[in-house]
Structure 1
């Protein structure tokens, strides 16, 4: 499960960077950042509930 979360974080981070690099894809950066934060929060919550 932790591997899946790490992969998702990397994918969202790549989408965010790509969105900032390409001016016309600013919406992609916003979506990438939102998904990155959501995945990180989900991972933190699931890790706490496991302990």
Structure 2
């Protein structure tokens, strides 16, 4: 495999919320970060495995 290949090992989705609900104060970046952290947890790899 080339070092330029991208491999997705796991996935997680961002939560759905209501307008002005509990998630309203979170930015898209914050929600995405949470989803990526959970996907990484589920994959069994540590953060050092991500480039």
Both proteins in one fold, TM over 0.5:
no
TM-score bin (small chain): 0.3 to 0.5
1 or 2 for the larger relative contact order (CA 8 Å, sep ≥6)? 2
TM-score, length basis structure 2 = 0.38
Q: Which has the larger radius of gyration?
A: 2
More helix by share: 1
